[in-house]
A and B are shown apart, each in its own frame.
Chain A
C-alpha cells in the first residue's frame, strides 16, 4: 500500500469511527447539569449525573469577567464570557468523580461532577 492510500484509508476509518460515536451518543437523551459561576465559585460545587448517559453541562457566568470551564477528565474546555452561558456536551461516563475548574482561576475555582 502506498503512503497516500494508507493515509486515505486511515482518514476514512477515523471518520467512520467518529460518525459511529456521534450517532451512538445522540441516540441517547443527555442528562442535564446546570452550574453557575458567581464570585468565581461554582454552584453547585459537586453536581451529580447518571452514569452511562451523555451529559449536557450548562454553565452560566454571573460574574462580569470571563472564565474558562475546563476538565482534563471530562476532556472539554470552553470560554464563557462575563454574563454569558455555554453548554458542553460530554460523552457517557462511568461512575466516579470528575474534576472541573475555571482555567483562569484554577487554584480557587473548582468542582467535581459526581457520576453515579
Chain B
C-alpha cells in the first residue's frame, strides 16, 4: 500500500473515530473539529478506499479456454493438472490424465511449459474400442507461448500465440500408439470491467499423425473455437462459464469432417496466495453430431463430459 493511500486510510479512520466521539459528546474534541474543517482532509474523506481487487493473471481463469497472460519474467512454477473424460455412447468409459508441469517465463514476451503425462483408463463395452483398465506413462508435451500484445495500460486486449507439441504413447482408449500432434492457438482476452469481469476467445487447430501397432500412419486434426467469461466474486475467487465448439477431421487440413461437438460448463479459479492457485472446469457436450450417425451428440469423436483441475505452486 502506498504512503498516500495509507495516509488517506488513517485520516478516514480518524474521522470515523471523531464521529463516534461526537455522537457521545456533542461538543467533540478540538482536534476533531480541526480535522473536519480542513479542506484537504475533507477531500481525503471523500476519496474512495483503495480497491482490494488487484491485477489477476488470466492464463487459467477460463477453464479449458486459455487467457493471454504468460506470467512475469523470472517466474517459475510447478503445476499438477488433471484432465478427465467420461462417457461414450455405450459401455463404460473413463480416462484420467495427470500432468506434472514445469513452467518458466524467461522474458516479458515468452513463456514455456514442460509436461510429463500419466493416464489411467477404465473402459469396457465401448463400440470400436478394446476394454482397458490400468495406469501408465502416456506421453510428453511442451507449450510455447509468445505474447504479441500485452493487456495493460497501453492495450485493453491481450493476444498470445500458442504452440503445444505433444508425443503420446497411449491413445484416448488406453491402447498403445505412436502419436505426434501439436495444438496451435490464437488466444485473446480483455477486461470487460477492470479487475472484475474478464473475457477470452481461443481459436485452435491441432493436426495429428498417429500409428497403432501393425497399422499405417493415420492423419487427423481437430479445430475449435472457445470463449469464456469470468467474474471475480472476491479478490481471490473467480467464477465463470465457457462455451467450446470443436470439429474433428480425418485429415490434417479441415476437409473430411468426422464430427463436431459443443460443450458448455462452469469454471472456478482460486488465487489462494501470490504463489498458489487452483483452477477447475467441468464441461458437458450439449450438442453434436458424428458424420454418418443420427444421434444428437458426437460421442464417437468426443466424450460426453470433461473435467479439468489445475494446482500451481510458484517459486
Binding site for B on A (CB under 8 A): 2-4, 6-7, 10-11, 14, 17-18, 21, 41-42, 45-46, 70-78, 88, 90-91, 93-99, 101, 103, 106-112, 115
Question: Chain B: how many interface residues by the 8 Å CB criterion?
Answer: 38
Binding site for A on B (CB under 8 A): 1-4, 52, 54-57, 69-75, 105, 107-110, 144, 146-147, 150, 152-155, 163, 165, 180-182, 207, 209, 274-275
Contact A107 B182 (CB under 8 A): no
Pairs A–B under 8 Å by Cβ, sample size 22: A6-B165, A6-B182, A11-B144, A17-B146, A21-B109, A45-B2, A46-B2, A46-B4, A70-B72, A72-B56, A73-B150, A75-B70, A76-B72, A76-B73, A77-B72, A94-B153, A94-B154, A96-B152, A101-B54, A107-B1, A109-B1, A111-B2
Q: How far is the CB of B72 from chain A (nearest CB, A)?
A: 4
Q: A41 is contacted by which of B3, B108, B152 (Cβ under 8 Å)?
A: B3
A73 to B71, CA, bound (A): 10
Residue in B closest to A17 when the chains form the complex, CB atoms: B146
Residues of the A chain whose Cβ atoms lie less than 8 Å from the Cβ of B2: 42, 45-46, 110-112
Contact B73 A3 (CB under 8 A): no
A41 to B7, CA, bound (A): 13
Contact A18 B73 (CB under 8 A): no
Contact B3 A45 (CB under 8 A): yes
A74 to B109, CA, bound (A): 11
Residues of the A chain whose Cβ atoms lie less than 8 Å from the Cβ of B70: 75
Contact B144 A14 (CB under 8 A): yes
Q: A3 is contacted by which of B108, B150, B180, B274 (Cβ under 8 Å)?
A: B180
Q: How far is the CB of A5 from chain B (nearest CB, A)?
A: 11
Interface residues of A, dominant DSSP: mixed
Contact A72 B153 (CB under 8 A): no
Contact B3 A76 (CB under 8 A): no
Contact A106 B150 (CB under 8 A): no
Residues of the B chain whose Cβ atoms lie less than 8 Å from the Cβ of A7: 163, 165, 182
Q: Which of A10, A41, A70 has the most CB of B within 10 A?
A: A10
Contact A98 B74 (CB under 8 A): no
Q: How far is the CB of B208 from chain A (nearest CB, A)?
A: 8
Q: How far is the CB of A107 from chain B (nearest CB, A)?
A: 7
A107 to B273, CA, bound (A): 11
Residues of the B chain whose Cβ atoms lie less than 8 Å from the Cβ of A109: 1
A45 to B4, CA, bound (A): 9
Q: How far is the CB of B59 from chain A (nearest CB, A)?
A: 11
Q: Which 5 A-B residue pairs are closest in the complex by CB-CB distance?
A: A96-B153, A94-B154, A45-B2, A3-B180, A73-B152
